[in-house]
Structure 1
Amino acid sequence: MKLERLNLFSEKGVATITIHNPPVNVLDVALMKELRHVLLTMRDRSDIRVLVFENANPDFFIAHVDMTLIDEPHAFDDIAREAPEGLNPFQALGELIREQPQVTIAKLAGIARGGGAEFVTAADMVFAAEGKAGLAQCEALMGIIPGGGGTQYLASCMTRARALEIILGADLIDAETAERYGWINRAIPLEQLDSFISRLANNIAALPKGVIAAAKLAMPVPDLGAGFLREHEAWAGLFAKPAAATLIRGGLAAGAQTRDGELDLEALLRGLNGYSSVDATVRNN
């Protein structure tokens, strides 16, 4: 497959995959196909031991799933047919990441919301830039809930109360808070992020043969099959309601998936829900 939205560079057992899908790195069909292709291809690369995912866009890692797909209900049909039984295509992408034989590292130097946040959370390790990175599961503001594994991944790395705060509070979470909640490994100053991850990735890649596989085997991921089914049914049920389509189309009309709109997407979506500036002032104080 010719890659148009991903740039690959490998050296000494470390493959760096840079996401570049202007203007805001939305997770559209084309990007998902390229991510799946890279993950599946890398499975058979014994010379590659670490995968590092990063964003070329200075503001966005992966904004979220492409909202314009609300009017293209069959856009993911091909990918859905390739998904394992019991998983929708978004859950299947997360599970591809979790099942990689390589160590997967998300270098978060921008915003990841919705499907982008789920992609990040599925990685083995996540390191985020202080003052620059942000994570959000803001689907509730669109009348739905996370449907790509977010409910299950969050419940696996933090308390139920904090996971519910993230899903129902639907706020953008900064790197420091994400670290405290257990969503990411560490929040790191932006100017140190590249060197820290480079050192870590190269140290892991240089380990004796068999160590990475043994460590990942000894620390198996939880079986989330039943939870994925509950999540999909709940997400699909809400997605089928008129409110979701109205809010998603309204968000696009108000500037979602443009740089300015995405920098404060939560405020944009709350405006559609009748969330006044007075309410916001009271809440922030």
Structure 2
Amino acid sequence: MSNDAYSTLRVTSEHGVARIVLDNPPVNVIDVTMMRELRTVLTALADDPSVRVIVFSSADPEFFLAHVDMRIGERMDALQELSASAPADINVFQAVGELVRHLPQTTIVKLAGQARGGGAEFVAAADMAFAAVETAGLGQIEALMGIVPGGGGTQYLRDRVGRNRALEVILTADLFDAETAASYGWINRAVPADELDEYVDRVARHIAALPDGVVEAAKRALPADDFKEGLLRENDAWATTISLPAAQRLIGEGLRDGAQTPAGERDLEGLMRGIAP
């Protein structure tokens, strides 16, 4: 599998484990290019019987996936082209998470840094996620931008943590530490940072070494839930809020004040709360 085809991903495969390193400097935003490349590589891997496990990690130890590119509206032509190739009844952002959720392989997120918004949705879409106790963080930042999650987050969160905690995550828009996320069931386990690589590698190797047919049988017996109606409701809610003047102002002023720069992203919640109402 050649990395020459990708500008935001680094992909390797060995002994039944494919490793996808997310690499879109400066803070790993999910832009149109990354969404296109993820859909390309994951569609190809879905048809590769030699791969039993897919591990996602980040080239940036601070940021797994920051969130969806706040400037994505400036690439409307490319976004519409990508949207046209998405499955029916889901939007372009939901298409990424749904592809991850329905892969035949076991998918694992190795979370060393922060994942917000669409990045947190990506984490919740994977079969398993393990996070570094000292450095990882998860948050649905959207409410501070005047919108709601639009990439599957409402449905994935409710499935993982229950309605009450999903509302807490979405409406507080806080950054949750790894231990709290694990206690909520948002991720599988919080692991000391210096043990994270070894732990995830061991899990991936052990699953990939299982006898033929076991991974496939387990995933057939435990299929991903059907969120079709919920995803439609989510898209309607997101589309309603993103069109409001308040959302456009908050996003614009967030970018002005440092969002999507390393300094701004380290405390994006504080930055967004500091914008005048």
Matched, 1:103 2:101: no
Question: In the aligned structure 2, how far is the partner of 1:72 from the partner of 1:78?
Answer: 10
Matched, 1:233 2:236: yes
SS of match in other structure, 1:76: helix
Question: In the aligned structure 1, how far is the partner of 2:276 from the partner of 2:184?
Answer: 28
Matched, 1:221 2:263: no
Deviating runs (4+, > 2 A) in structure 1? 70-75
Matched, 1:180 2:180: no
SS of match in other structure, 2:71: helix
Measured after TM superposition, the shift of residue 74 of structure 1 is: 3.9
Residues matched between the structures, number: 274
Query: Normalising by the residue count of structure 1, what TM-score does the alignment of the two structures yield?
Result: 0.94
Partner of 2:57: 54
Question: In the aligned structure 2, how far is the partner of 1:211 from the partner of 1:71?
Answer: 45
Gaps of 5+ in 2: none
Matched, 1:164 2:182: no
Partner of 1:267: 270
Measured after TM superposition, the shift of residue 75 of structure 1 is: 3.7
Given residue 216 of structure 2, which amino acid in structure 1 is its aligned partner? A
Partner of 2:31: 28
Matched, 1:137 2:168: no
Q: 1:242-284: CA deviations, max 9, x gaps?
A: 111100010000000000000000000001145xxxxxxxxxx
Matched, 1:208 2:225: no
Question: In the aligned structure 1, how far is the partner of 2:75 from the partner of 2:12?
Answer: 33
Given residue 160 of structure 1, which amino acid in structure 2 is its aligned partner? R
Partner of 2:83: 80
SS of match in other structure, 2:54: strand
Question: In the aligned structure 1, how far is the partner of 2:276 from the partner of 2:213?
Answer: 52
Partner of 1:278: none
Matched, 1:10 2:13: yes
Q: 1:188-227: CA deviations, max 9, x gaps?
A: 0011111111111011001111100110000112110000
Measured after TM superposition, the shift of residue 71 of structure 1 is: 3.6
SS of match in other structure, 1:207: coil
Q: 1:32-75: CA deviations, max 9, x gaps?
A: 11111110010111111100000010100000000012444444
Partner of 1:279: none
Question: What is the alpha-carbon root mean square deviation over aligned residues?
Answer: 1.0
Given residue 156 of structure 1, which amino acid in structure 2 is its aligned partner? D
Question: In the aligned structure 2, how far is the partner of 1:70 from the partner of 1:49?
Answer: 36
Partner of 1:247: 250
Matched, 1:198 2:214: no
SS of match in other structure, 2:274: helix
Is the Cα contact below 8 Å between 1:137 and 1:170 reproduced in 2? Answer: yes
Measured after TM superposition, the shift of residue 228 of structure 1 is: 0.3
Matched, 1:257 2:263: no
Is the Cα contact below 8 Å between 1:83 and 1:92 reproduced in 2? Answer: yes
Is the Cα contact below 8 Å between 1:134 and 1:175 reproduced in 2? Answer: yes
Gaps of 5+ in 1: 275-285
Question: In the aligned structure 2, how far is the partner of 1:273 from the partner of 1:132?
Answer: 29
SS of match in other structure, 1:272: coil
Identity %: 57
Question: In the aligned structure 2, how far is the partner of 1:76 from the partner of 1:110?
Answer: 27
SS of match in other structure, 2:27: coil
Measured after TM superposition, the shift of residue 105 of structure 1 is: 0.2
